[in-house]
Amino acid sequence: IVGGRSAVPGLFPWQALLMVEDVSRVPEGRWFGSGALLSESWVLTAAHVLRSHRRDASVVPVSPEHIRVYLGLHDIRTKHLAVNRTVERVLLHPRFDPRNYNNDIALVKLSQRVDLSGLALPVCLPPPGQDSSLPLPNTLGLVAGWGISNPNVSTDDTTASDLGDRSDVLQYVKLPVVDQEECRSSYASRYRKYNITENMFCAGYYEGGRDTCLGDSGGAFVMEDPHTGRWVAQGLVSWGGPEKCGSQRVYGVYTRVSNYMPWLQNHLDSDS
Amino acid sequence: QGANLTDMYGTLHSPNYPESYEKEVEVTWNISVPDGFQIKLYFIHFDLEPSYLCEYDYVKVEAEQEVLATFCGREETDTEQVPGDQVITSPRNVLSVTFRSDFSNEERFSGFEAHYSAVDVDECRDRNDEDLACDHYCHNYIGGYYCSCRYGYVLHSDNRTCRVECSDSVFTERTGVLSSSDYPRSYPKSSDCLYRIELEEGFQVNLEFDDTFDIEDHPEVTCPYDYIKIQAGQREFGPLCGDRSPGRIQTGSNSVQILFHSDNSGENVGWRLSYTAVGSQCQVLQPPENGQLEPVQPQYTFKDHVLVTCNHGYKVFKDDEELEHYQIVCEKGGSWSSTVPTCKMVDCGAPEEIENGTVTFEGPSNSTLLGSRIQYSCTNPLHHLYPSGNSTYTCTEAGVWTSEELGTKLPSCQPVCGEPGQAFPALQKR
């Protein structure tokens, strides 16, 4: 998180740390990302966090045994104090496209249920049938993560290594949703190959300074429902341009969760 | 002297004919022709010594120990008979002719010459004896005859009477009609007809004979010719015959055999009966409390069904099993297949539990009977009931807990989402 603040324990009780150790690709095979607790058994994240690293465009999920999920975690150095779960199943969205990160969404089923507490609580999902034009431009959301907070330090991968310049304490930042056309034209003007689809939205500031960054992937972009006061995961940290995180006019791109409610409900319901 | 003559025709004459016959001669000719023929005898010459009642010389014609004629003399007198142009016919296929002369002849007598021939008998025309005549059709041919029967009949081994094949009748319906063949025309002769009524155990067969009843009988001997015998289980009825209908016979059995025997003679109308099956009777049942029986009848007999249903809000209970309805059957021996079940008020039973939730009864005694109400709620404050809304379920007539909103589907306790465990930090003065 660039330009954010340290969270206090329990501020983001749905925040999950996903540690991946794909031993077949050492040393590049170790990385981490975030996820959002949806229930005692399910964690929502971005598909690219759990896609096995390959040079071609094939989409193969990381084996469940190579994933660890930590919940109720505040300081990454005290993982041993957090709730620790292995994974039973990984469901990448079947139309996830690793070339443009379209449909960058995934579900993780924990091997064991999590006991809910003040430090581990689920986040809400958008109501089914929500207008796909939501969230509205300029409304604010919060994103948390243990990703890079100092983008001046170079990294060597599109996801952060847990040995890189990550934050020890969970950071969070408040970001406004960017007008979809502005987001699209911002990327189109600079990079022809980057395509902002209807399954994505941008958030961030034109002037930069505050942003998500490497290692924050999969974390929930939450917005407060004005009626219920509950926090709803409207987005998932997905990708950004090749410039430094927090650069001017380089918005972060988030998966639009409301577009996937049928797929999510289908899997969550079938499980319950 | 004499001869056995077996040709189909021939001549016989007195010894020495046409010369005068000798004294003290007796000659017999035994003529026999095949069965089916008669013998016709006629004389072309006759000249014997006349005597009173032919006591001296004579020609005697006999058949089967019977004297057909005795001739003597030259012409017919009060005491002497000459054959003239008379033709003598034998009753059957044998005839004997005897010529006799005594010890003296007052004059010279030339004797006789006679001819015979075999003549076919038309048995169909001539046999008036019922014991010999064909029952249905008679066909004559030279030397014999044969009988045949109408369609549907079989010629009996006596080659004369016509019987019927009638022993394959099995009646299994609860009612029916049986009769002798061809009723009300004469029944066939020489027949043994077995009629069987075979019903399920539990039924009893009653027979009702028609008033028109006519089976050949005898004034002194009981049914020596034709008769009906009825075998019903261990009981036997009959033999029945005569012209008085036996009327109604209650056999008391579900299995009845009726044998009808006819001999080779007689012309009688026969019989007809209708039968009905009566089931063994079961006692009238009392309906259960809060229930009813259908159909309601003054009496119930074998095979009758009774359906037990309960009033609205009640269910049939049989052997601790809850049923919509229950059927009882009147069985053989007059017992019901089961006792009448009871009607109990609909009970939805203990409500299903939900994870992380609890059930609260609205009533005072945790009743699960019809109309009782329960409410689901979550035990953990970190869970909330989903879907939210009225979580009240009512025990319905169907015997299931039903919610107005969710029907029979249960709510679930879902974790409360989107609520941080900590308040966001307060604003700080810069």
Structure tokens at A57: 């465009």
Q: Looking up tokens 């942003």, which residue turns up? A: A211
Q: What is the pLDDT of residues A198-212, one digit of tens each?
A: 999 999 999 999 999
pLDDT of residue B322 exceeding 60: yes
Q: Per residue in A92-123, pLDDT tens?
A: 999 999 888 999 999 999 999 999 998 999 99
pLDDT at A189 over 90: no
pLDDT band at A158 (very low <50, low <70, confident <90, very high): very low
Q: What is the pLDDT of residue B429?
A: 46
pLDDT tens per residue, range B252-264: 999 999 999 999 8
A229 Ramachandran zone, left/alpha/beta (phi>0; psi -120 to 50)? left
Of residues A34, A93, A104, A149, which has the active-site annotation? Answer: A104
Say whether A217 is catalytic.
yes
Compute the C-alpha angle A16/A22/A23, nearest 5°: 135
DSSP for B249-284, written as a single string:
EE---SEEEEEEE--S-----B-EEEEEEEEPEEPP
Chain A nearest-CA distance from B294, in A, is: 47
- Direct distance between the N- and C-terminal alpha carbons of chain B, in angstroms, rounded to an integer: 182
CB contact under 8 A, A230 and B425: no
Task: Give me the residue from B415, B418, B421 closest to A40, CB to CB.
Answer: B415
A74 is catalytic: no
Nearest CB among B414, B417, B425 relative to A123 is that of B417
pLDDT per residue as tens digits for the range A218-262: 999 999 998 888 999 999 999 998 888 998 888 999 999 999 999
ipTM over 0.90: no
Q: How many CA atoms lie within 13 A of A271 on its CB side?
A: 21
Residues B422, A11: C-beta atoms closer than 8 Å: yes
At residue B94, φ and ψ (nearest 5 deg) are -130, 150
Pairwise CB contact (< 8 Å): A125 & B417: yes
Query: Does the annotation mark A75 as catalytic?
Result: no
Q: Which residues of B touch A124 (CB under 8 A)?
A: 417-418
* Residue of chain A nearest B424, judged by CA positions: A11
Question: Closest by alpha carbon to B358, among B381, B330, B329, B333?
Answer: B381
Q: How far is Cα B367 from Cα A214, in angstroms, rounded to an integer?
A: 60
A121/B414 touch (CB, cutoff 8 Å), yes or no: no
Q: φ, ψ for residue A260 (rounded to 5)? A: -115, 15
Q: Does B364 touch chain A (CB under 8 A)?
A: no
| Contact by Cβ (8 Å): B48, B113 | no
How many angstroms separate the Cα of A123 from the Cα of each of A132, A231, B213, B413? 20, 6, 101, 15
